[in-house]
Structure 1
Amino acid sequence: MRQLIIQVPRGNGKAVIDIAISHNGANLAQFEGNADEPIDLVMVHISNQKVGEFVEQLQDLPKVHISLIPTGVIALQPPASEAPQQVVDVEERSPIEIFLSGLQSVGSWRGFLGYAALAGFVVWIGLYTNTTYLLVAAMLIAPFAGPAMNTAIATAWGDRPLLGRSIFRYFAALAVTIFTTWLLSLILQQEIPTSLMLDNSQISAVAVILPLAAGAAGALNLVQSERSSLVSGAATGMLVAASLAPPAGIIGMSSAIGRWDMVISGLFLLFLQLCGINLSAALLFRIFGLSAQGTRYQRGKQKVFFSALVITIMVLAGLLTWQFINSPNLQRSSLAQRANAEVQKTVEQVGLAKLIESNVRFTRSNIVGQDTLLCVIYVQRQPQVTASNQEISDRLTQSIQTHLLKQNFNVTPLVDVNVLETPTFSKNSTMENSG
């Protein structure tokens, strides 16, 4: 439940009480006071879902002032035997409360940009030193989740001013993080990308699933009452930032060392994340009733909602089309997995050796006009095979390269097959060692 304190001119307190009773308000109280004129103060506890309707009806009263306490309260009423049921009766937050909290969160700039800069420092250290847990720390302090979710709130509500301010804050925070990482790479004279940069810059064909899931998780967290959620806001915010902080750091660092292919991958990810988060979160907000229709807060317009949603879908479709026609640059992670499966299949079909391990990845080197796929394979000869290790290696190398080229991966497969021998011990040597 939510607690509201309503201030009205003297004599109107009874009307507030009657409206609260019509919305099943609990633990109602009225006090008389004086401000510039005699007033009535009414304390109301009301269900989360009824806050919006209650506030709407209060607008008909003269000179009404409303204080909404944005935290859950437990309003217990007699008989005492019903207290357990009253405690577990938890509802989602009201749409108007979600919308107003979104408006409130776009006010502060100094702390917002400060966190964006700090996230840049931490993500740079993590990428530069190949320290994964520092990337997690950067995700925790990166302020990207707020503007991303506010963009979805503005889309669902159809609020053009909030939509514009949220998108501006989103790209302002990203610009600060990117600039911070770019400047650090220049100052410390970084010359080549680190392995963690390369790993995080490789995009999967299913990369769009992460922002869709992050948007849905963020929307659910904002909709649910704080007493009904088993997942903290920090966790869902980290999920949103997880898809944004590393790409922002990679863009800054890669531009400093001239790796424009990695810059393009990072930019692709940032736009993909924003569109995916906005699509899933906005639709979920609409399902939970977040809409300006039927309210007096007429900043929101239905045509703005449809326009923003259509633009989001069109941009997302364009990004996905670009991803799948621009192979392998924007699908390297998925292609490496598929190529690894094809390598294992080829070794099994040739039949000269058993596969021990295969490592397939795109290389760090940036050879113009060539996407190098490095395949390092360890095999063990089959017992009945009499061919030499070199013959086995040459045969498997040729077969794997030919098979990968037929798959139209648009890569240059460089294959290194290592044939390993099992240790052999004679009976006498074993007895001597035991003696």
Structure 2
Amino acid sequence: MSLRQIELFLPKESADKVEELLQEQSIEAIWQSPISEEKTLVKIILSSQQAEEAIDTLSSHFSSLEDFRIILLPVSAYLTHPSESESSDEEDNNPLPEVELDPESSRLNRQELQQQIDRDLDLNLQHIVMLLISAIIAVIGLLRDDSTIIIGAMVIAPLLGPNMGLSLATTLGDMPLAKKALQIGAFGISLALALSLMIGFFIPINLDIPEIALRTRVRWSDVLLAFASGIAGALSFTSGTIRGLVGVMVSVALLPPLVTFGMLLGSGRWEPAVGAMLLFFTNLVCLNLAGVLTFSLQNIRPGEWWLASKAEKATNAAYFIWFGLLFVVITSIVFWRRTHWV
């Protein structure tokens, strides 16, 4: 079981109410440490799933207090008294671990997800350099027809954060976060597109290269790949595991078709460029739709009821927009295949 430690600073008279407020929570341990005559530090050990509700409860009761603060820490190890461990072992008659099927129990709490996405959406010099380097490596891989080099570009492409950030902001109804994710995502797309346009203008693009030709047409399997990548990206983000490897899948769906589109457009190859553009937009729409769907199924919602209503409206609007865009893209694909492909 994944544990978290909550630390909150409260006046002494308020600290005594904490245990009563959390009596419905399955708390592993709780204790107080006096800081001064007026202030007390309360420490609570509980499961990661319980932490989200506990923080909401504590915030609703104490947020109006001056200098109120909550710190959430991961617990690497929690050792109980030997007698407690022995008694729990005796009570456990089932040698097989239980399989937890609750989607909420397999994810990080909402507060950790928001902190993580804030770090991922930090636009700095390193982010810009990594975008440029990944685009350059992808161009080289496409021109050399070398899938190994293309995969190398995907490893370093920072494209997971903006897409997951937009999906998370939608399910939380957090419009400032959605705006930030859109801005950083649009900046990354524009930067990679501008670089590939410039390269395509100066370097002739050979459509006989299989890695390039592969990304000038959309197959139905590409739609499934983008959906699978979006779901994997959302699950890895909420579980806090293997995010780097799943980020590769998201980058595979976005960066190669985007770079291919830019190079073909820069070379004046309009018709194949449209095919690459359709592949890119198909992947982009499917990734974000899958992200919103996954976060919704995991019941990621704001703690306050008035924000929950706002989040529900934002999620429904996102479904309408993404499904509408998916319909437009699929219609365009069908039309393009009938008029340009044999």
User: TM-score scaled to structure 1, two decimals?
Assistant: 0.67
The CA distance in 2 between the partners of 1:95 and 1:174, in whole Å, is 28
- Confirm or deny that 1:80 pairs with 2:85: yes
Answer whether contact 2:200 2:265 (CA < 8 A) is retained: no
Question: SS at 1:203's partner residue?
Answer: coil
Question: Shift in Å at residue 263 of structure 1?
Answer: 2.1
**Given residue 6 of structure 1, which amino acid in structure 2 is its aligned partner?**
L
Task: Find 1:167's aligned residue among 182, 200, 208.
Answer: 182
- CA distance change for structure 1 residues 169 and 198 in 2, over 3 Å: closer, same or farther? same
Partner residue in 1 for 2:238: 223
SS of the equivalent of 2:236 reads helix
Q: Deviations over 1:170-207 (max 9, x none)?
A: 121111112222333445x3353433211232321332
Matched, 1:245 2:258: no
CA distance in 1, matches of 2:258, 2:89: 50
Q: Residue type matched to 1:140 in 2?
A: V
Paired residue total:
321
Give, in angstroms, the shift of residue 46 of structure 1.
Answer: 1.6
| Residues 1:117 and 2:132 aligned together | yes
Q: Which amino acid aligns with 1:80?
A: S
Aligned match of 1:266: 276
Residue 271 (structure 1) shift: 1.8
Q: Any gaps of 5 or more consecutive residues in structure 1? A: 330-370, 372-409, 412-435
When Rg is computed on C-alpha atoms for both structures, the one with the higher figure is 1
Match of 1:320 in 2: 330
Counterpart residue number, 1:131: 146
**Match among 67, 75, 91 for residue 71 of structure 2:** 67
Within the candidate set 6, 9, 13, 1:7 is matched to 9
What is the aligned counterpart of 2:27 among 25, 34, 43? 25
How do 1:259-338 and structure 2 match up within 5 A?
259-292=269-302, 294-295=304-305, 300-328=310-338
Q: Per the alignment, in what secondary structure is the counterpart of residue 244 of structure 1?
A: helix
Q: Tell me, yes or no, if the aligned pair for 2:215 and 2:276 is still in contact at 8 Å.
A: no
More helix by share: 2
Report SS of the residue matched to 1:28.
Answer: strand
Report the AA paired with residue 70 of structure 2.
I
Matching residue within 147, 159, 163 for 1:144:
159
Query: Is the 8 Å Cα contact of residues 218 and 240 (structure 1) preserved in structure 2?
Result: yes
Distance change >3 Å, CA 219–CA 3, structure 1 → 2: same
> What is the aligned-residue RMSD (CA, Å)?
2.7
What per-residue deviation string (whole Å, max 9, x for no partner) do you get for residues 203-259 of structure 1? 2133211111111111222233x4xx6xx1112111111101101211221122111
Which stretch shows the higher mean deviation, 88-97 or 149-158?
88-97
Structure 2 unaligned segments of length 5 or more: list them. Answer: none
What is the aligned-residue identity percentage? 20
Per the TM alignment, residue 295 of structure 1 is displaced from its structure 2 partner at its CA by 4.7
Once the two structures are overlaid, the 10-residue window that deviates more, 207-216 or 2-11, is 2-11
Tell me, yes or no, if structure 1 residue 154 matches structure 2 residue 169: yes
Match for 1:126: what amino acid? G
What is the Cα deviation at residue 328 of structure 1?
4.8
Structure in which a larger fraction of residues adopt strand: 1
